[in-house]
Amino acid sequence: MELAIISLLSTAENHAKYMRFIGKHLVTRETYTVLIDLKEWFKSHDDVDWVGFSSWFRVVKHSSMKVEQLDLYTAIFSRMEEFEPTETDEEIMNALVKREYAARISEAAGDIADGVKGDLLDIDALMSEYRVHADVVSKTDSMFVTEDIDEIMSAVVPSKECLRWRLKELNISLGPLRTGDFITLGARPDSGKTTMLCSEVSHMATQLRHLDKTVYWFCNEEQGKRVKFRIMQAALGIKTRDFVGDVEKYYAAYLAMVGGERIKLIHSASLSCYDVETVVKNRSDVGLIIFDQLHKFQGVAGGKDTNEVGKQGLLFAWARGMAEYAPVINVHQVKGTGEGVMYPEMDQLYGSTTIIQGECDAVVMLGRPHGAEFSDDTRGLYAPKNKLVGELTSDGKYRNAQFEIQIQPNIARFKGAH
């Protein structure tokens, strides 16, 4: 296996792709030394001539190394001249990844059994992280951006698979959502986050019906049944008393509008990343993913010294990965400094760091201003970060624009001036 690993990383391209997955503890000291030295070798070479590399290793890189040690490395290089691996690149890397996570899981399990620290959710987190890194060769190869011009333009030109917002201000500022987009909506409690989601998601569901796709809404906040009712109310734009007055009529109207049960709510106070992956990765109809609220999700792995802010960064990075399956909208709390502010800034997001903000393609802030000059339904809408492509006809001046909008809680919608 040691020679196979060296062989795999014996080109500049493969070394750049896979070296980051090989920890010092996974291979022998000699193998790790060779791999580290290959990095320097590839600064001026594309591949390895083992005779030349051996001379460089002895004379230039390690001229002060003891003779018996140099002889050991020379023997390795001599074997590499004739070596032909029997395993594929994928088999070699997958074996290494398995070895890495088996060691980490074993250590974590030992700490739990000894009562030192941690709980079984840490094991779940490590398994979730392992699933992300499994099949690393095929995943790494897929990182290369396509050269197909039609596929490139599909990321720029709006298509039938793009999802447009109900609120015109969001269409003006952000443009349509595409697979790969990761959006965070931030607001203080009782500002209308759930209402905003219900209004927009119910509108997007009417578009997903034509694609035979479904919204998967992961909720650990409000009671799931209450949110489900608000979604139906927003879709139809009717008041609670009207819906209650003729439930069968309006429920049928809702199903007809969105094309059946197209919005699936998964509600639990202890949602984990594994729960999400189990749902998303095993279904082909995922058209939109909602996290309400991501920062409370369990099951993200981190090192021994990872603090709360670090774990938030890992969670957001994981959520960004989920956007490969469908657009992701995440709801996030705003800190107390955003109370009463019309247009909160993104550094007022809970646990705000450059890492968290950097993972998002767009950050949308919803503010609820205080003061006699504002009505109770006044809200501020602002996109301090917006890296989305937008529409071909979008006006750049609206990319980070601030809009005054009104919440309509009686029908679970918002309205603007556009």
Q: Identify the bridge partners of residue 310 per DSSP, sorted by sequence position.
A: none
Q: Which range, of 163-172, 252-261, 291-300, averages the lowest pLDDT?
A: 291-300
List pLDDT tens digits, range 302-316. Answer: 555 557 677 788 889
Lowest mean pLDDT among 102-106, 202-206, 385-389, 404-408: 102-106
Stated pTM of the model: 0.70
Say what the pLDDT of residue 154 is. Answer: 67
Among 383, 17, 14, which Cα is nearest to 185's? 383
- What confidence tens digit (pLDDT) does each residue in 182-207 have? 999 999 999 999 999 999 999 999 99
Q: What is the pLDDT of residue 132?
A: 66
**What is the spatial distance between Cα 287 and Cα 283, in angstroms, rounded to a whole number?**
10
381 forms beta bridges with: 366, 403
Retrieve residue 276's tokens. Answer: 């999400």
pLDDT digits (tens, 9 = 90+) for 254-279: 999 999 999 999 998 888 888 898 89
**pLDDT for the residue numbered 86:** 83
Percentages (nearest 5) of helix, strand, coil residues in the chain: 50, 15, 35
Q: From CA 106, how far away is CA 140, in angstroms rounded?
A: 27
Q: Under 8 Å CB-to-CB from 367, ≥6 apart: which residues?
A: 187, 188, 191, 338, 341, 342, 343, 344, 379, 380, 381, 382
- Separation between Cα atoms, residue 355 and residue 360, nearest integer Å: 9
| Residue located via tokens 């970060």 | 385
**Antiparallel, parallel or unpaired: β 263-267 and 286-292:** unpaired
Tell the residue number behind the tokens 């698979």, with chain if given: 161
The label of the residue with tokens 């809680």 reads 409
Place of tokens 């906040």: 221
- The pLDDT confidence band at residue 377, using thresholds 50, 70 and 90, is very high
